[in-house]
Amino acid sequence: MTERRLEASPLRDGLDRYLYAPARACLAVLALAPFSIDARAGEGESRSPGRTAPKTVQFNRDVRPILSDKCFQCHGPDAHQRKGDLRLDTLKDATAASASGERAVVPGKIDDSELVRRIESDDLDERMPPAKSKKQLSAAEAQTLKTWIAEGAEYEGHWAFLPPVASAQPTVSRSDWTRNPIDAWILKQLDKEGLAPSPEAEKVVLIRRLSLDLIGLPPTIAEVDAFLADDRGDAYERLVDRLLDSPHYGERWGRIWLDAARYADSDGYEKDKLRKVHFYRDWVVQAINRDLPYDRFIVEQLAGDLLPKPTQDQLVATGFLRNSMINEEGGIDPEQFRMEAMFDRMEAIGKGVLGLTIQCAQCHTHKYDPITHEEYYQMFAFLNSTHEANIAVYSPAELTKQADLLRAIHETESKLRADHPDWAERMGRWEESTRDRGPSWQVVRTNVDANNGSGQKHYLLDDGSLLAAGYAPTLHTTQFTALKPVPRVSAVRLELLNDQSLPLSGPGRSTKGLFALTDFHVEVAPADRPNERKEVKIVRATADVNPPETVLEPIFDDRSKKRRVTGPIAFAIDGKVETAWGIDAGPGRRNVPRNAVFVLEKPVSFPAGVIVTFKLDQKHGGWNSDDNQNNNLGRFRFSTTDAPNAEADPVPAGVRAILAIDRAKRTPDQTAAVFSYFRTTVPEWKGADDHIDALWKQHPEGSSQLVLEDRERPRETHLLQRGDFLKPGKAVVPGTPAFLNPLPSDKPANRLTFAEWLVDRQAPTTARACVNRVWQAYFGTGIVATSEDLGSQSEAPSHPELLDWLAVDFMDHGWSVKRLQRLIVNSATYRQTSRVSPDLAAKDPYNRLLARGPRQRVDAEIVRDVTLAASGLLDRHVGGDSVFPPAPAFLFEPPSSYGPKQWPEASGTARYRRALYTFRYRSVPYPMLQAFDAPNGDFSCVRRPKSNTPLQALTLLNEPIALDCARSLAALTLKDGGATDADRIVFAFRRCVARKPTAEEVEVLSSLLKRQVERFAAGEIDPRELTADQPATGVAPAQLASWTVLARVLLNLDETITKE
């Protein structure tokens, strides 16, 4: 399709450095144009000597496409695929002498150029391209190569790899038509093609076009009438400003970025568990609404956590990199799928930010663009030293409440200190009394997963702790055996530790970072007879937290109908499957390290030493391991002691760490943290403690968000052979491709520096990629049609100088996307009518020259939103949890879904929220959105496909929400549409398409309505089947049903779901 379009296109004039070949043979392979200059040299190679006359053949326009399609696979940048040690994509290599002394290209000398001899050879063993490649040169292509060599074999760098430069605004034939520089560039091209721009669209068309483009919603009848009545000279500009200031602007344009960001509400892969990440989605919407500069928009998403004193919003922004899929299938290697997620992040940065297909270099040096295999992993290294973290986040209202509670707690503690001036001395004495941490504990390093058949993976970390990862079973037992014997055991300590990879940092794996330990067992064996293992009795257990008995939350229902509870540590040694030790101290206090100590009935020792095995019964999860129903330990560590009467340390680990710091060197926050625990040990302060405890119980629950955090110890990055994580090659350090702008040498090699490099003023592709996608959203196709790839294989820009001018202007004005959009929509180009004459359709069928306004079907989400808005059902609330509108129940049960999935159908107005907020399972896409080409979120998408299928019409006719919309529009029309059927038809029609219907359209619709009234009156159909037993007040069911039929027709009009 691309090739046919280019052959039919009138874009054949000399776009010089960019591009189109005058010969159809060259146009047919233009989409495969590769990079051809050694951009690392930069370097003076792009020109060859001897230029004395104007060239008839240009490298980028005419030669590059041929070499790319026919030669570069074997003679291009990829050294591993290169044949005959010949490289044709750089002047230096193409003109170098081979071992035999021959040169493939000798500038100005056809007869001395081996390339010419080989392409004209009659010897099939010598002819290039070889017959087995099935890529033969046409006579025209061979002549182009010969002419190019004869004219000096001049090489040129690919336009997108050079920083954009704004050219002077061109002089055009109709300066009175131009409203801003965009129009001058468009008109320049139209002048060359002998075309004239179309007239301006009618006002009713413009307000609907603007509303759909800027906020993704149709205008109301009142808004249309107000605009039509506004005869001020700047009425249009005022409308633009109003829409740009709308809170719904961020919803419309946020959805476009969320495609690139791979946003979805589930993990993907087999289990496809739901995840709570809507805070990232809402951050995108709000960032766009407040016109966060695009360079800052990118920096915060890649490295918000590395900014000085990052806010919650800046941490949430890094969710961009965490939108990758997560695999928790049984038996998987978590590291494999961490690497898959890393590859996905790289692709998202390539497509979404750079506008390049860098993923090719994951396995080998890029065959067309100058990105080497090593450079790919150098960029990869910037992202590799991170924790895949999960943090607690709060809504604005919750943040306010949290701040109020913390302030009240601080005031209570301040009053305690004021009322007791000797508090510091008393706390000092308490510190001295608690310095003794009890017995000496020996950390026991154990085997990993040797005897665990549950599929859950465990890692033994450097500190001896075990970290659970991968598949999360819900009802299971794990056991771990010491790698080395201990001399004597009297008690065992179990420490529960935080880890950034766990939900809310753990220490458990439940969605709240909690766990439930059903029972704890200890087995011992002589070191010289390890098979003689016997369980020893535990007679006492202590812990630093002992919550009251609490019935399990519904998500942990195992369908046993038993009363299952969590509570104090005693529940972990009572032998009952219904009870378990829990650690939930409530929101704000639950996700901290904990410890428990289990005392044996009597000390155990053997002459050769004791091998200890620890068994953890974890039977307090739910019935469905394909859902988030696990209640498992996340990170934990075992220790033993031979001391009698050991007990759990009641001092929190964080406080204990502060106590090791000299008092004079502590910060005020550290002193306050010690005091917050110390006060709980003072009996006479119980009243204040109880008050503070009551305050903590009011702490908001919050939600969770996947984010990135830097590791304390950088992870070494290796080049992976063929992209296989099991085949690491040489180690690489963070770096960037040499053909792009240089990395600053005076900054640390971290993600923040990488993010700033991406949006550096000299970055050649970043601004171009952004403005090109914005243009694509308005006109259906970008200035570069291949918006995901501006590289050597991209389609050539239709208006290259305009693209560069827009990119420079965008950067010059603070990377403001709103300003860019204001510039576009205020242009005469945008405001043209979309009506097309047969002559113009023949000359420019795809509207690449823009001699008319844009016309295309709106995106899937806007299809839904238009019908909701037209019907009066739309809930315009912005932000919040994703919602579950009606969907077929079978989709969420096997075999449609791998395992049962939650789909708690929304009720009330939540059913009618904008489609942006529809919950998105990756493996079970929402049917209506899928029918209209919405991506699943499996990978970065910057250019949606557009299909037209019967399924789309059937969806708009019969899908439950579509039927609700038709019923609601019918009821609204009968209520507010006027006294006559003609008035009501006009009302309903305008709610759908904004304009008034023609007399002929009213006649057709009146005839339809009449036929339906007759059918229902005759009893052919029961009207309640269509009205769902919900007739409008005072309206007969047959009348409502008849109008519902008409409403279904109006909501299915092509014009209703099309931007005209």
Please compute the mean of the pLDDT values over residues 307-329 and round it to a whole number.
96
Q: How far is CA 1055 from CA 118, 768, 778, 1048, 1059, in A?
A: 57, 32, 17, 13, 7
Dump pLDDT digits (tens) for 539-563. Answer: 999 999 999 999 999 999 999 999 9
Q: Is the pTM higher than 0.75?
A: yes
Q: How far apart are CA 943 and CA 357, in angstroms?
A: 13
What does the pLDDT read at residue 571?
98
Q: Are 189 and 849 in contact (CB under 8 A)?
A: yes
Instruction: Assign 847 to helix, strand or coil.
Output: coil
Q: Percentage of residues in the chain with pLDDT exceeding 90?
A: 79
DSSP characters over 393-420? E--HHHHHHHHHHHHHHHHHHHHHHHH-
Q: How far apart are CA 174 and CA 183, in angstroms?
A: 10
311 pLDDT higher than 80: yes
What does the pLDDT read at residue 54?
65
Burial class of residue 146 in the structure, from the number of CB atoms within 10 Å of its CB (0-12 exposed, 13-18 middle, 19+ buried): middle
What does the pLDDT read at residue 88?
84
603 pLDDT higher than 90: yes
Q: Are 238 and 262 in contact (CB under 8 A)?
A: no
Please tell me the least confidently modeled range out of 247-251, 445-449, 605-609, 878-882.
445-449
Dump pLDDT digits (tens) for 656-706. Answer: 999 999 999 999 999 999 999 999 999 999 999 999 999 999 999 999 999
Instruction: Assign 558 to helix, strand or coil.
Output: coil
By DSSP bridging, strand 386-393 and strand 703-710 are: antiparallel
624 pLDDT higher than 60: yes
Enumerate the domain spans of the chain: 2-157, 421-435+660-701, 443-648, 960-1059
| Dihedral-angle region of residue 26 (phi above 0 means left; psi in -120 to 50 means alpha; beta otherwise) | alpha
Q: Are 898 and 270 in contact (CB under 8 A)?
A: yes
Q: How far apart are CA 584 and CA 561, in angstroms?
A: 23
Angle at 152 between CA 151 and CA 158, to 5 degrees: 105
Dump pLDDT digits (tens) for 933-953. Answer: 999 999 999 999 999 999 999
What does the pLDDT read at residue 21?
30
Q: DSSP letter for 70, please.
A: H
19 pLDDT higher than 70: no
908 pLDDT higher than 80: yes
Q: CA torsion, points 217, 220, 224, 229, in degrees to nearest 10?
A: -140
Residue 472, token pair as written in the block: 């999360």
Q: How far is CA 462 from CA 36, 387, 444, 499, 667, in A?
A: 49, 16, 12, 13, 29
Please tell me the least confidently modeled range out of 31-35, 198-202, 460-464, 532-536.
31-35
Please compute the mean of the pLDDT values over residues 381-405 and round it to a whole number.
96
Q: How far apart are CA 84 and CA 98, in angstroms?
A: 9
Q: Are 633 and 468 in contact (CB under 8 A)?
A: yes
Which has more confidence, 50 or 785? 785
Q: Are 974 and 983 in contact (CB under 8 A)?
A: no
Q: How far apart are CA 252 and CA 288, in angstroms?
A: 10
Q: How confident is the model at residue 487 (pLDDT cuts 50, 70, 90)?
A: very high
DSSP characters over 211-225? HHHHTSSPPPHHHHH
What does the pLDDT read at residue 1032?
62
Residue 200, token pair as written in the block: 């301006």
CATH code of 443-648, in short, is: 2.60.120
Please tell me the least confidently modeled range out of 86-100, 194-208, 533-547, 782-796.
86-100
Q: Return the half-sphere exposure (C-beta side, CA atoms, 13 A cut-off) of residue 517.
A: 33
What does the pLDDT read at residue 66?
85
Instruction: Assign 957 to helix, strand or coil.
Output: helix
Q: How confident is the model at residue 77 (pLDDT cuts 50, 70, 90)?
A: confident
Dump pLDDT digits (tens) for 432-456. Answer: 999 887 899 999 999 987 767 778 9
What does the pLDDT read at residue 1030?
65
Instruction: Assign 45 to helix, strand or coil.
Output: coil
Dump pLDDT digits (tens) for 172-186. Answer: 989 899 999 999 999
What does the pLDDT read at residue 205?
98
Q: How far apart are CA 873 and CA 454, in angstroms?
A: 48
Please tell me the least confidently modeled range out of 46-60, 397-411, 484-498.
46-60
What does the pLDDT read at residue 851?
96
Which has more confidence, 856 or 76? 856
Please compute the mean of the pLDDT values over residues 122-130 and round it to a whole number.
84
What does the pLDDT read at residue 765?
97
Angle at 75 between CA 70 and CA 80, to 5 degrees: 125
10 pLDDT higher than 50: no
Please compute the mean of the pLDDT values over residues 1039-1045 and round it to a whole number.
94
> In 3-state terms, the chain is what percent helix, strand and coil (to 5)?
40, 15, 45
924 pLDDT higher than 80: yes
Which has more confidence, 59 or 913? 913
Residue 512, token pair as written in the block: 């709240």
Please compute the mean of the pLDDT values over residues 250-264 and round it to a whole number.
98
Burial class of residue 396 in the structure, from the number of CB atoms within 10 Å of its CB (0-12 exposed, 13-18 middle, 19+ buried): exposed
Nearest CA-CA partner of 285 in 323, 247, 315: 247
30 pLDDT higher than 50: no
| CA-CA-CA-CA torsion sign (479, 481, 482, 488) | positive
Q: How far apart are CA 929 and CA 891, in angstroms?
A: 14
What does the pLDDT read at residue 9?
32
| Helix or strand holding residue 843 (H, E) | helix 838-843
Q: How far apart are CA 276 and CA 271, in angstroms?
A: 15
DSSP characters over 1017-1052? HTTSS-THHHHTT-PPTT--HHHHHHHHHHHHHHHT
Residue 770, token pair as written in the block: 């952004």
Instruction: Assign 488 to helix, strand or coil.
Output: strand
Residue entry with tokens 């060259």: 26
Dump pLDDT digits (tens) for 413-424. Answer: 999 999 999 999
Q: What is the mean pLDDT of the chain?
A: 91
Q: How confident is the model at residue 369 (pLDDT cuts 50, 70, 90)?
A: confident
Please tell me the least confidently modeled range out of 34-48, 64-78, 339-353, 595-609.
34-48
Please compute the mean of the pLDDT values over residues 1024-1048 and round it to a whole number.
85
Please compute the mean of the pLDDT values over residues 388-396 and round it to a whole number.
96
